[in-house]
Structure 1
Amino acid sequence: MSRVDTKTTTRLEVPPRDYLYYRDALANQPLPAAFIDLDQFAANLERLKLRAGSLPVRLVTKSVRSVHVIRRILAAGPFMQGLLCYSVGEAAWLASEGFDDIVVAYPSVELADIRAAAVQIKKGRSITLMVDCAEQVIKISQIALEEDVVIALSIDLDMSSAFPGVYFGVHRSPVHDVPTALTLAQFIAKRQGVVLEGLMGYEGQIAGLMDDVPGQAIKNVVVRYLKRKSIREVNARRQAVVAALKKDGHTLRFVNGGGTGSFESTREDASVTELAAGSGLYAPTLFDHYQAFTPLPCAGFALAITRVPKAGVLTCSGGGYIASGPIGPDRLPQPWLPAGCTLIPNESAGEVQTPVRHSLATPPSIGEPILFRHAKAGELCERFNELLLIEGGKVVDKVLTYRGEKKCFF
């Protein structure tokens, strides 16, 4: 298994970015446009490597959604190892594009997608499908027998914590302890065409929940307390399940855990053989306020100013790129540069226009951009066909997103 080479270092800091830097870089580019700042991106990748310590990192593709960017990340070094896809269809497509060592993070019962994955497995690609119940295993094994292949499976272990009066976590899997994990593993062992190779335990309440949000001091204290309590419980649960599976005769090729926001605590679990991350590279706004780390904003989108309805207000074209999850202001894209711009609550980010308030002495003019950041990482790519890659103050390349490749997996 590849391990981190901590002797290799790159520049972790880059000069602060201001509005003029991006305005000039995007001059003459058609807007709206999404972009990646490659200098900031490289720094985030290096920070992720250092935070991972000795564990390899499996790239979460839903947080990237661009084949070119995926290749760039995997080329960064052996500490990046394999892909964690969000769709079986996506995994089959990426395998056809030459990628290997692919794990699908979510179960699927779409037979056409499972068959497409089986076809790639028959060609020699490594694709592991996720399961958490017998019904999923049955469907996968049927396809495997029809295609005359053996399909590797991974069990999705629930890593949520049920405290008195508080369900702290996400509703993912019914496999939540040693007995349920052993029951499923033994069922897999009796089926033809499938083999158990991995376990995934994603602690979403640790990895995806900010705990150092300005203006929320009391909530931050509560979240940190719940996190500490949950970490002890779920790490012990994952360790117990891994030990029980091995004692029962099941050989695990990998034990996957964590996300961008939980590297430090996931590394405490000695049963984990690899980490998973992706959002920490684009660094969306939902990853701005963690106590343990601070990524550099590197992904954004630019909207053209098309109206000035009154003093102190600039109206941009487009912009209604709302993130998934619980409805709330934190799911809205946020004005980024120039500093001092804010959304107007009664209108917010709209499908065809987004007005912003500002207090700028010299505001940008009609035709110039306002820069925004998305709340989540890869979801931005569902709105754009291409990403502009900015390096050294210039657009140095334009690369396709999944959407630009005419792919939509959900």
Structure 2
Amino acid sequence: MTAPRRNLRERLDRATAHLETPIAVVDLAAFDANAAALASRSRGKPIRVASKSVRVRALLERVLARPGWRGVMAYTLPEAIWLVRAGVSDDVLVAYPSADRSALAELGKDDELAAAITLMIDSPAHLDLIDQVAPASRRAELRVCIELDASWRPATQIHVGVRRSPVHSAVQAGALARRITSRPGFRLAGMMSYEAHIAGVGDAPTGRAIRGGMIKVMQRLALPELIERRQAAVSAVREHADLDFVNGGGTGSMAETAADPSVTEIAAGSGLYGPTLFDQYTNWQPTPAALFALSVVRRPAPRIATVLGGGWIASGPPEPSRQPTPYLPEGLKFRGDEWAGEVQTPLLGAAASGLRLGDRVWFRHAKAGELCEHVNEVQLVDGESATPTPTYRGEGHAFLG
């Protein structure tokens, strides 16, 4: 095992020796280093922290207290309301359209919430739904943001990227802006586009060099098209409204998105924790900050150590990249016919031979905030001390659970 990995394992074991597994930790030194590195890559543009990639209120507050970070990108409206009322931020953008009638009604009745929260819009139907729940004549003016589809469409019937907003062209963006500004009770405050095919796709997938080369070519061609189209869309929208912000990007495209002059702020969150999906990027790799530990409970063979639990699978395509990764001690791997299991996970490799019952194996999750859906608290590790801190789940909130 390399010295840095050995030292990290020893430090985490000492910091959490008094705790029973499973344990989730966030190493504050790595977290802060990642936050500083992301800020340095944003070219002076503020970073809006993506809360779904963190899901710990204390850590949202920690990063927002740092230079270069401003505002929250929430993933549901109830979460946004909670964060504002808890004093985490008075500037929260909801990243996805909401059809939560109770939350929309609550938002419309509270001037403070309405001033702090911006709703995502990509269709007049969203405005209709809001007006059905809370008619404009009986509610506060609501801030809304247009989402521009960032996917790449190089030819008819070819769609590269995730399927989000139906608003793809500058003409469509301008038409929607005109519809929004012509209706009472709404204020068009921002635009947003998420280039998932660039920010969310690593260009160096493990063991797949040909695919990695294809991804590099795709991203090299897709980025200039998006920058040109986004600039045109922002210009079209600004003919109808003075925008407070234009949001774009993510951890995986921080520097590239920041270079777009039409973008005023970047969204990022996953890079704070450094999950394994970012091991597949060549432009920047965060330091692993979030890990979880499981205990060895069986030794079914001399070179196999079995831990209790382990099936903390990430969302997305059902493929190996969504599995957690055994990280400490170095040199462990899954059995090809079992992988990570709900109640037990056999591990192979030279390091397995030295593990005893009760020893800990530290894993990294494939995606960032999803780790927090498995635990009620994370241990914030500072040196060799650990402080328990509730996750969203630990505070009684499962916003998409």
TM-score class normalised by the smaller sequence: over 0.9
Q: Distance in 1 between matches of 2:296 and 2:51?
A: 32
Report the counterpart of residue 139 of structure 1 in structure 2.
129
| Closer, same or farther: CA 120–41 of 1 in aligned 2, 3 Å | farther
| 1:41 maps onto 2:57 in alignment | no
**Paired residue type of 1:50:** S
What is the alpha-carbon distance in structure 2 between the residues aligned to residue 149 and residue 132 of structure 1? 21
1:44, 1:280 within 8 Å by CA — same for their partners in 2? Answer: yes
Residue 316 (1) aligns with residue 287 (2) = no
Q: Deviations over 1:73-95 (max 9, x none)?
A: 11112x10100001011101111
- Cα deviation, residue 405, structure 1: 0.5
The 3 A distance-change label for structure 1 pair 315 and 147 is farther
Aligned residue identity for 2:308: S
Query: Mapping of 1:65-104 within 5 angstroms?
Result: 65-77=55-67, 79-98=68-87, 99-104=89-94
Unpaired runs of at least 5, structure 1 = 1-13
Structure 1 residue aligned with 2:188:
196
Residue 221 of structure 1 corresponds to which residue in structure 2?
213
Contact 1:95-1:120 within 8 A present in 2 as well: no
- 3-state SS in 2 of match to 1:345: coil
Equivalents in 2 of 1:279, 1:243: separation in Å?
Answer: 30
- Which position in structure 2 is the counterpart of 1:183? 175
Q: Call closer, same or farther: CA 1:120–1:84 in 2, change over 3 Å.
A: farther
2-side partners of 1:228 and 1:299: how far apart? 31
In 2, Cα distance between the equivalents of 1:307 and 1:121? 58
TM-score by length of 1: 0.92
What whole-Å deviation, never above 9, does each CA across 1:155-207 have from its counterpart, x for those lacking one?
01000012347421000010000121122111111222111110001101100
Cα distance between partner residues in 1 of 2:64 and 2:368: 18
- Return the alpha-carbon distance in structure 1 between the equivalents of residues 115 and 170 of structure 2: 31
Aligned counterparts of 1:184 and 1:166: Cα–Cα separation in 2: 24
Question: Which residue in 2 is equivalent to 1:7?
Answer: none
1:368 aligns with 2:362: no
Is the counterpart of residue 355 in structure 1 residue 355 in structure 2? no
Out of 153, 157, 174, the position equivalent to 2:144 is 153
Match of residue 381 from structure 1: 372
SS in 1 for 2:243: coil
Root-mean-square deviation over aligned CA pairs: 1.7
- Could you tell me how far apart the structure 2 residues matched to 1:121 and 1:212 are? 47
Count residues with an aligned counterpart.
394
Q: 1:301 to 1:92 in 2, by over 3 A?
A: same
Aligned residue number for residue 15 of structure 2: 25
Deviates more, 1:28-37 or 1:359-368: 359-368
Structure 1 counterpart of 2:197? 205
Q: Aligned partners of 1:385, 1:261: CA distance in 2, in Å? A: 28
Which structure has more helix as a fraction of its residues?
2
The CA distance in 2 between the partners of 1:91 and 1:381, in whole Å, is: 18
Tell me how far apart the structure 1 counterparts of residues 171 and 243 of structure 2 sit (CA, whole Å).
Answer: 17
Cα distance in 1 between the residues matched to 2:377 and 2:368: 15
Deviation at 1:288, TM superposition (A): 1.1
Overall identity of the aligned pairs, in %: 41
Contact 2:326–2:364 (CA under 8 A) maintained in structure 1: yes
Gap runs ≥5 in structure 2: none
CA drift of 1:393 comes to: 2.4
Q: What's the CA shift for 1:60?
A: 0.2
Write the distance in 1 (CA, Å) between the matches of 2:349 and 2:384.
25
Match of 1:11 in 2: none
Aligned residue identity for 1:225:
V
Go from structure 1 to structure 2 and tell me whether the alpha carbon gap of 1:216 and 1:405 turns closer, same or farther (over 3 Å shift). same
